[in-house]
Amino acid sequence: MSRNLIIAANWKLNKGPADAAAFLDAFCVAIKEFKGSADIVLAPTFLTIPSVVAKLDGCDRIAVASQNVSEQESGAFTGEVSTAMLSEAGVQYVILGHSERRSIYGETDAIINAKVKKTLAAGLKPIFCIGETLEEREGGKLESVLTTQITDGLKDVADLTDVVIAYEPVWAIGTGVTASAEQAQDTHKFVRSVIANLYGQSAADAVRIQYGGSVKPANAAELLGQPDIDGALVGGAALEAESFFGILENSSF
C-alpha cells in the first residue's frame, strides 16, 4: 500500500501576516523546483490564515491548516473560531490534540474527540496528534498511553479516510532531541496496529501517520524513509522557507 507523504509546517504562535508573506515569497519560488509528490500543508495562526490563503493564489499545491478549532458551532463562546469560519477562509486541515494544547490548555481526549468529530462533519481534515511524555515512555506506558489517546480521541469516528495521525513524542518536540528512526518506526508500527484493531487492516494500511518532534533537513530522509512514517509535522524547522523546503527535498527519494 503506498501512502502519499504529507509534510506540514506548524507555525505555532509565530508569524503574523507580514512574516508569513516573507516566508511565502521565498517558499513559492523554491517549490517550483520540487519534484516530489508529498502533500504540503502550512498551519499559520488563525489571524494569519486569510493572508496566507490569498498569497497561495498562484503558489500551487500547498494546503492550509489551522492549529485548533472550536468544538462549538456558534454563539457565546468568546475567543473561539468555528469550523464553518475555517472552511469559509479556505482551510482544509485542522491540527488537533497537539501536546501543547493538551498540556498547556488542558485539552482532554474527550474535548479533542469533540473537535475531531466537528472537523470531519464540516468536511475538514483533522491532523490528530498523539504522543507520550518521557516519563510515560520510561515508565513502560508508551503503548497504553497511545492506545487511550487513539481510542478516546477517535471515539465514534467511523471512517478514517480524512484523518491524518501525527505521532509526536512530547520529549522530542522543540527539544532538538529526535526519536531515532528505529524508535519512530517501531512506534508508528504500533500505532498502525492499534488502528487495525479498531478499524480493520485496510483502514490501517491507508491511514497516514506523520512523525513530529525536531524534524529537520538533516534527519528528514532517514525518518521519512521508514515504512510506517508517512510524513512530518514540523515546528521549529518550518519557520524558515529554506529549512522547510530542505525537509521537502529530503522527502523525494
Catalytic residues: 98, 168
Q: Binding ligand PGA by CB under 6 A: which of 234, 241, 247, 248?
A: 234
Rounded CA gap, 196 and 58, in Å? 40
Minimum CB distance to ligand PGA smaller for 40 or for 173: 173
Which residues have C-beta within 8 Å of that of residue 143, sequence separation ≥ 6? 190
Q: Binding ligand PGA by CB under 6 A: which of 212, 219, 224, 248?
A: 212
Question: Residue type at 207?
Answer: V
Which residue, chain included where needed, has cell 521508514? 226
Shortest separation between residue 110's beta carbon and ligand PGA, angstroms: 22
C-alpha cell at 47: 489571524
Give yes or no for residue 170 binding ligand PGA (CB under 6 A): no
Give yes or no for residue 169 binding ligand PGA (CB under 6 A): no
Tell me the residue number closest to ligand PGA, measured at CB. Answer: 235
Give yes or no for residue 248 binding ligand PGA (CB under 6 A): no
Rounded CA gap, 92 and 73, in Å? 17
Minimum CB distance to ligand PGA smaller for 139 or for 174: 174
Shortest separation between residue 77's beta carbon and ligand PGA, angstroms: 25
Q: Binding ligand PGA by CB under 6 A: which of 157, 184, 215, 247?
A: 215
Shortest separation between residue 236's beta carbon and ligand PGA, angstroms: 3
Rounded CA gap, 133 and 143, in Å? 12
Q: CA Rg, the chain, in Å?
A: 17
- Each residue 113-152 as x (binds ligand PGA by CB under 6 A) or -, in order, gives ----------------------------------------
Applying CB under 6 A, the span of 32-40, 58-66, 145-153, 208-216 interacting with ligand PGA comes to 208-216
Using CB under 6 A as the binding criterion, the count of chain residues that bind ligand PGA stands at: 13
Q: How many helices (H) and strands (E) does the chain have?
A: 11, 8
Which of these, 152, 153, 125, 130, lies nearest to 142 by C-alpha position?
130
Question: What are the helix (H) ranges across the chain?
Answer: 17-30, 49-55, 83-89, 99-104, 109-121, 134-138, 142-153, 181-199, 201-206, 217-224, 241-249
Q: Binding ligand PGA by CB under 6 A: which of 5, 10, 52, 191?
A: 10
Q: What is the number of alpha carbons within 13 Å of residue 3 lying toward its C-beta?
A: 25
Minimum CB distance to ligand PGA smaller for 81 or for 170: 170
65 phi/psi in degrees, rounded to 5 = -120, 155
- Catalog residues that contact ligand PGA under the rule CB under 6 A: 10, 168, 173-174, 212-215, 233-237
